[in-house]
Amino acid sequence: MNSGVPLLGRRAISFISRLGSVFLLLFKSIYHFKSIPRSLGLIADQCFFIGNKSVALIVITSTFVGAVSAWQAAYQFKFIGAPLRYLGTAVGKAVVIELAPVLTALIVAGRVGAGIAAELGTMRVTEQIDALESMGISPVRYLVTPRFIAAVAMLPLLTIFANFVAISGALLISILFVDISYETFLLGVKASFKLSDMFAGLLKSGVFGAIIGIVGCHEGFFAEGGARGVGKSTTQAVVISAVMILISDYVIATILFSV
């Protein structure tokens, strides 16, 4: 029992230290928002990297998420004897509030978060970040702030796109295999749609984007140990981002949808 206490204490100290380091980098990044006009080109490049290059993954994932949501909802409705005309209502609510924001964020965390960590980690171990500092260029302004802003801006847009694709996939499955007309399905989606639900999903997406951007930058920015260190920082960026996305999803849902 006692032998485990020092290890637990070291892990707790390491966690608190890492959390403080992440927030310190976040505050530095926010401080450099004043330089946004000078960084518009960098921000646009990162928006293209995060947004445009994630579209294909979003299409594939969202299509099958919508399809399986329709299948599962139809199965549950038949099990409890509920009328299938409410299928669009159930699927629309689930997609807009939960499925599209969370799954989009997890996909982007796996692709973009890892890419950011690998890129900045490589720059760190090859001393390119040190070279920026020696030239009087703030690495946070030049490397972190554009990626952070782009992630926060693009996640809500990707989520809106994922909403449309997922509901379209659910509609297709409902017409072909559940024997529901498209009018019935779309009327159900329309009946369940609320702007507050959409705003809640987009709020989640913005928070998830901030998590992905700052965690990916932090893990890459402080990578050490050569190629092994870059690989470790990339893995940690994805794992930490995914865990924080799920935790923040619960916290936000509890606040917004408390009964």
Q: What is the pLDDT of residues 86-131, one digit of tens each?
A: 888 889 989 999 999 999 999 999 999 999 999 999 999 998 998 9
* 3-state DSSP helix/strand/coil % of the chain, to nearest 5: 90, 0, 10
**Mean pLDDT for the stretch of residues 192-199:** 87
Tokens representing 113? 């978060």
Residue 14: per-residue pLDDT? 77
Q: How confident is the model at residue 75 (pLDDT cuts 50, 70, 90)?
A: confident
pLDDT in tens, 148-173: 999 999 999 999 999 999 999 999 99
In the chain, % of residues over pLDDT 70 = 98
Q: Please tell me the least confidently modeled range out of 154-158, 185-189, 210-214.
A: 185-189
Q: How confident is the model at residue 1 (pLDDT cuts 50, 70, 90)?
A: very low
Question: Is pTM beyond 0.85 here?
Answer: yes
- Rounded to whole angstroms, the Cα distance separating 37 from 28 reads 17
Q: Please tell me the least confidently modeled range out of 10-14, 133-137, 142-146, 196-200.
A: 10-14
Query: Is the Cβ–Cβ distance between 151 and 213 less than 8 Å?
Result: yes
Residue 259: per-residue pLDDT? 52
Helix axes 226-256, 114-125, angle to 10 degrees: 140
Return the DSSP state at 54.
Answer: G
| CB hemisphere CA count around 130 (13 angstroms) | 8
**Mean pLDDT for the stretch of residues 65-80:** 88
Residue 5: per-residue pLDDT? 54
Residues 189-210, buried b or exposed e (16+ Cβ, 10 A)?
Answer: beebeeeebeebbbebbbbbbb
Q: Is the pLDDT of residue 2 over 60?
A: no
Helices (H), 178-225: 182-192, 195-221
**Mean pLDDT for the stretch of residues 4-27:** 80
- Rounded to whole angstroms, the Cα distance separating 84 from 181 reads 11
Residues 6+ apart with CB under 8 A from 29: 140, 144, 145, 148, 214, 217
- Rounded to whole angstroms, the Cα distance separating 240 from 220 reads 13
Domain boundaries defined on the chain: 4-256
